[in-house]
Amino acid sequence: MKEIDEQHLIESGLVVLDITAADEETAHRVVGELGQRWATSGPPIVRRTPGVPGVSARVYADIRRTGTEEP
């Protein structure tokens, strides 16, 4: 994954979340839940690292803004 840049954390309320999950479905579900609560960068690219269990994903969020509500 790319290095976290100063721009990603320039203001209070901006966060970078690295997620590790057992599988892609779980990672996408977690990001979906976060997106309902806060404004996020949306569905992440999920990566597998050979020899490391599970998958990883990164999401950027602004906890000052609310996310989307599912109908």
Total-model pTM:
0.77
In tens, the pLDDT along 39-70 reads: 999 889 999 999 999 999 999 999 999 887 55
Question: Cβ of 8: how many Cβ atoms within 10 Å?
Answer: 15
Map residue 35 onto helix, strand or coil: helix
Per-residue pLDDT band for 11 (boundaries 50, 70, 90) equals confident
Strands (DSSP E) along the chain, which ranges?
14-21, 38-40, 55-66
Per-residue pLDDT band for 71 (boundaries 50, 70, 90) equals very low
pLDDT given for residue 67 in this prediction: 85
Spatial distance between the Cα atoms of 56 and 48, rounded to a whole number of angstroms: 7
